[in-house]
Each structure stands twice: as structure tokens, then as C-alpha cells.
Amino acid sequence: MKKFINQVDDLLAESLSGFASAHHDLVSLHLDPNYLVRAQKAQNKVALISGGGSGHEPLHTGFVGYGMLDAACPGHVFTSPTPDQMLAAAEAAESGKGVLFIVKNYAGDIMNFEMAAEMLPFEHATVIISDDVAVENSTYTTGRRGVAGTVIVEKCVGSLAETGADLAACKALGDRVNGRTASMGVALTSCTVPAAGRPTFDIEHHELEMGVGIHGEPGRRREKMRSADEIVADLVGAILEDLQPAAGSDVLLMVNGFTGTPLMELYVLYNSAAKLLEQRGLNIIRSLVGDYTTSLEMAGASITVCLLDDEIRRHWDSPVHTAALRWGR
Amino acid sequence: MYLFEQEAESISMNTDFILLATRAVNQAILANESEIESLDREIGDGDHFINIKRGCATIVAMHDELAGLAPDAALQKIGMKLLSTIGGASGPLIGSFFMAMAKAVKEQGAETLPQIASSFAAGVEAIKHRGKADVGEKTMLDVLIPVSHTFSRLAAEGFERAELFEVLKREAEQGMLSTRDMVATKGRAAFLGARAIGHIDPGARTSQVIISTICDLAAAK
């Protein structure tokens, strides 16, 4: 293992401190329990709070700020955060209109957020993200996993919450965007959890893991390395089979890197996926390409398609100012 | 009934007993380190022992602040602390156990065996509810559920105490061994499918070690 580390046990706190210091205009950090909130607390809006294991940066810390999250709770690497973090974050971010938790569908995350919700002294609701079409029952969950589509849900619900919409409306939009979003990923290499010190899974030089999860957990199958077009055809095929979009639909196409794959290759994937979507008669009216939901140093990428309508498109387009996503202000 | 009433006078799950039990459990867990670790390497993801060890050490370190508390308050505090230190899926499961047990003790007391059995059952029920799991899924519940049922039944029948805890130890061992031939449908062993057959579930083994340790203490008390 060759990583930039002082002491493994200090890695998370040092990384969070660095992030908070680099983006002090946007966020403030609280340690023990660990959470990040907006530097300027928003008033009179639903407080959007997300969280999950660390190692997927910029998810979720990089999406705290105007137009997206009010707070994020980072757990240890690939380990769910705990309810005390969520309660403290809610206490700091709540501004009179309740709390909406945005949770990726993993057993640990679900249980910890569930317990926090039960203890919360505020009105609350939870949106569960389950956009990964790779496996119905994965290693860590019962049901589909939540992956890169989380970014789209956080962006759209964040925009709606900024208008002063109530908790029920924010929850409804979150569920609706989740239901219209599908993703699937592929890994070319493994990743190494710092505390474990060795790669999470073994993968040969000539192999890929089709349908990989964002912790390197198994996907659909192990197969021989193939061309970018062939890989994308499988990913897009599975996504469209799930979404069943009507010809003429407007879509957002996202190509998300897991960290180890250069942007140059991500655009190769985008080019290939865009052609396939256009062949199906879909209009790609919005796009996002880059590292947004990562898996430590893993090489690989995921493709996400979100079926847009006027409301979702409007919320996608609205101004946002976070460390990882910024436009319109 | 004579035996039950006699026992009812002498057994009580007070805070001293809870602290004694946590110290003994901590030692028993450490004594079984290599075996639990190797079970987890085979079908888990290798962090079970680290998490349990961290949980035990945290509670032992809290003894001074727990010592003056009523039993239900001590259990509640232990549950909250485990919930915030273990993390992942184990934290909520084990935390829920202690918090549900605390609630039952607060409502019914813990001065008789049936009351203690009932609070234990409330804790086990909380794990089932939180984890949405049951017997036969190759988890700690394969130990906890049969032990809880037998505990409630024998306590209600007024079984002699030392004998009762011997029966519970055997029940725990059988439950632990029963996971060997199961396919996992919950937890991280689930993706191994048939490959997990032939391996004892590390969570079941840990639960059995804990129950066995506490039964020895309770029988000797």
C-alpha cells in the first residue's frame, strides 16, 4: 500500500480538516461527532442531510452548500456514519421546516439513519437512493444499491428545498428522481481500504468486474477486458432495460469516474454512451462527466441516465454553489 | 414454583452484575481472538473482531461513569455508546439490543428470572426488527433467538438457576453450530452463496461466547 498517510487512524480527521480549510467559505467542520454544515446556516428551509462511508469523495461533503445539502455526515472509510453524527448535524442545520435524510441503500447506512430518525426531535423524512441496476441483491444490501445517481437526487431536491418547499414535497421529488434514474458501473482495478492495507478484491490484469459496487463489492460477473464500446453497450443496455424510456424522452447522461480512470477515458465512455442513447431516440439535453462518486483509487467508471421532465430539468439547472458542483452563482 | 420464588429473592440484574459481565465478556472475546478472526476472514470481511473488540474496550473504559447508575440507565448508556462507536451494520444491531433491554428493565424491573428473560427477549426482538432477519439466515440470531425462547420458557417454569444457565449454554452452542450448514441471506456472507456452507458464522460464534460467559457468571452468583 502506497498512500499519503501520517497515521491511518488520523486519515479521516486530517482529510476532513483539509477539506474544511480549503472551502472555509462554504462549509464548517465539527469533529467528534464528525459532520460538515454550511458555513452560513440557511433559514426557513427543509434541512437536507446526507452521509455515508468516506472514500467516495466528493460525495457527500463536496455537495454541502447553496442549492444542495445543508449537512453531510462522513463515516470511516466504506463504513456507515453513526446516529450521533446525524443527530448533531440535524441539530446544527435544522431551521424550522424539518429534516430530510438522503441515504444510499446499504444495510449499515439504512439502519444508522433509521435509528437517528427515530431519535430526531424534528419533523423528518428519508429518501432512499437505489439507482444501481447491476444486482438486485448485492453483498451489502437487500435490494438495489445507491450509487452515482445520488448526486442528481441531491442536486434536484437541494434546488427545490431552496425555494422553501415543505418536507413532503422535497421527499416526493427525491423519490421521483430516484425512480427515474438508473446507473451501472465497471471496475478495471481494485481499491485498498487504508485500515485494511491490502486490495479489497483480486482482479487480473486482463479482467474487469461488470456491475461493480462503489466499495468494490462484486457485480454481475467477472469478464475479460474488452473495447470501450463493448463495455458501454453492456452498461447502457442494462440501464435502458430498467428505465424503458420512450423515444423522444429528454435525458441527463452522467459518466462518473471512480478516481483511477483519467477524464480523457471518461469522455471516450461518454462518446460511446451518447451514440447509443441517440440511436434509441433519446435527447441528451444535460450531461455531467467527472469524478463525483468515487471508490478510493479504483480505476473504472459508472454510467447514469436520468429521465428528465420540466420540473427535474429546472431543478438541475438552478444555481448551485458547493465545493464539487458550481454553476449559476 | 417453590424454586422460582426462592430464586426470585436472590437473583437480580443490578448494575454491579452488568459491569462484572462486561469485564468478563471483554476477557472472553480477547481470549478467542484468533478463532473469531479466522472465521470472519473465511466468510466475512475481516473487521468483525476489530469492531467487537473496540466495542468491549469502550464499555470497560466507561465503568466509572456507569457504576452509579440504575441498571436500566446503565444499559441505555451502553447501548448509546456502542451505537456511536461500532458503526456499520453491527452498531445499530447491538445498540438496539441494549436500548430495548434498558426499556424493558425500566418498565418491568430485573429482579426475577422471568423479568430478566423478558428484557433479554426484548433486546433480541429489537435485533430482529432492526436487521429484518430471523432464524436460519446464518447470523447471530441463530444463537440469540433459541436462547431467548428457552430462557423465557425455563424461567416461567421456575427451573433451578444453575441448571437453567447450563441449558442456555448448550442452546447457544447448538445455535452457533447450526450456522455451519446454512447459506447466508443477510450480512456480508450472503454474496458467497453456497461457498459459505461449512463455515460457522463469526457473529454467531461471538454471541455464543458472550452468552456462555454471562451464563457462567449468573449460575455462580
pLDDT tens string A30-78 = 999 999 999 999 999 999 999 999 999 999 999 999 999 999 999 988 8
Same domain, yes or no, for A33 and A159? Answer: yes
Same domain, yes or no, for A239 and A226? Answer: yes
Instruction: With respect to residue A316, please indicate whether it lies within any of the assigned structural domains.
Output: no
ipTM for the complex?
0.77
Q: What is the pLDDT of residues A172-220, one digit of tens each?
A: 999 999 999 999 999 999 999 888 788 878 889 999 999 998 988 777 8
Partner A contacted by B89 (CB < 8 A): yes
For testing contact with chain B, the best of A111, A114, A118 (most B CBs within 10 A):
A111
For testing contact with chain B, the best of A73, A82, A193 (most B CBs within 10 A):
A82
Same domain, yes or no, for A23 and A169? Answer: yes
Contacts with A85 from chain B: Cβ below 8 Å: 84
Instruction: With respect to residue A317, please indicate whether it lies within any of the assigned structural domains.
Output: no
Q: What is the pLDDT of residues B3-57, one digit of tens each?
A: 444 444 457 889 999 999 999 999 999 999 889 888 877 776 667 787 888 899 9
Question: What range does the domain containing B23 cover?
Answer: 2-220
From B188's Cα to the closest Cα of chain A, the distance in A is: 6
Domains in chain A, number: 2
Catalytic annotation present for A56: yes
Q: What is the CATH number of the domain that holds B42?
A: 1.25.40.340
Q: What is the pLDDT of residues B73-114, one digit of tens each?
A: 999 999 999 999 888 888 999 999 999 999 999 999 999 999
Whole-number pLDDT of residue B10: 56
Whole-number pLDDT of residue A137: 60
Instruction: With respect to residue A320, please indicate whether it lies within any of the assigned structural domains.
Output: no
Same domain, yes or no, for A219 and A303? Answer: yes
Predicted confidence band of residue A298 (pLDDT cuts 50, 70, 90): very high
Instruction: With respect to residue A194, please indicate whether it lies within any of the assigned structural domains.
Output: yes
From B46, B87, B130, residue closest to A75, measured CB to CB: B87
From A115, A138, A217, residue closest to B92, measured CB to CB: A115
Instruction: With respect to residue A105, please indicate whether it lies within any of the assigned structural domains.
Output: yes
* 3-class secondary structure, A293: coil
Q: Could you tell me how many CB contacts below 8 A there are between chain A and chain B?
A: 61
Same domain, yes or no, for A171 and A240? Answer: no
Given the residues A56, A60, A76, A315, select the one marked as catalytic: A56
Contacts with B80 from chain A: Cβ below 8 Å: 84
Same domain, yes or no, for A28 and A65? Answer: yes
The pLDDT mean for chain B works out to: 89
Same domain, yes or no, for A186 and A176? Answer: no
Same domain, yes or no, for A67 and A156? Answer: yes
What distance, in Å, lies between the first and last C-alpha atoms of chain A?
A: 41
Judge: A83–B132 Cβ closer than 8 Å, yes or no: no
- Residue A233, pLDDT > 90, answer yes
Question: What range does the domain containing A120 cover?
Answer: 11-180
Given the residues A23, A124, A215, A315, select the one marked as catalytic: A215
Partner B contacted by A217 (CB < 8 A): yes
- Phi, psi (5° rounding) for residue A242? -75, -45
Same domain, yes or no, for A164 and A194? Answer: no
From A80, A111, A139, residue closest to B190, measured CB to CB: A139
- Residue A128, pLDDT > 90, answer yes
Same domain, yes or no, for A243 and A258? Answer: yes
DSSP line for A85-102:
HHHHHHHHH--SS-EEEE
Same domain, yes or no, for A128 and A88? Answer: yes
Instruction: With respect to residue A197, please indicate whether it lies within any of the assigned structural domains.
Output: yes
Partner B contacted by A140 (CB < 8 A): yes
Instruction: With respect to residue A326, please indicate whether it lies within any of the assigned structural domains.
Output: no
Name residues whose C-beta falls within 8 Å of residue A114's C-beta, 6 or more positions apart in sequence: A126, B92, B130
* 3-class secondary structure, A143: strand
Q: What is the CATH number of the domain that holds A117?
A: 3.40.50.10440
DSSP state of A313: H
Instruction: With respect to residue A324, please indicate whether it lies within any of the assigned structural domains.
Output: no
Contact B89, B80 (CB under 8 A): no
Whole-number pLDDT of residue B5: 41
Domains in chain B, number: 1
Whole-number pLDDT of residue B37: 81
The domain boundary, picked from A154, A180, A206, lies at A180
Same domain, yes or no, for A160 and A240? Answer: no
Catalytic annotation present for A124: no
Contacts with A82 from chain B: Cβ below 8 Å: 83-87, 91
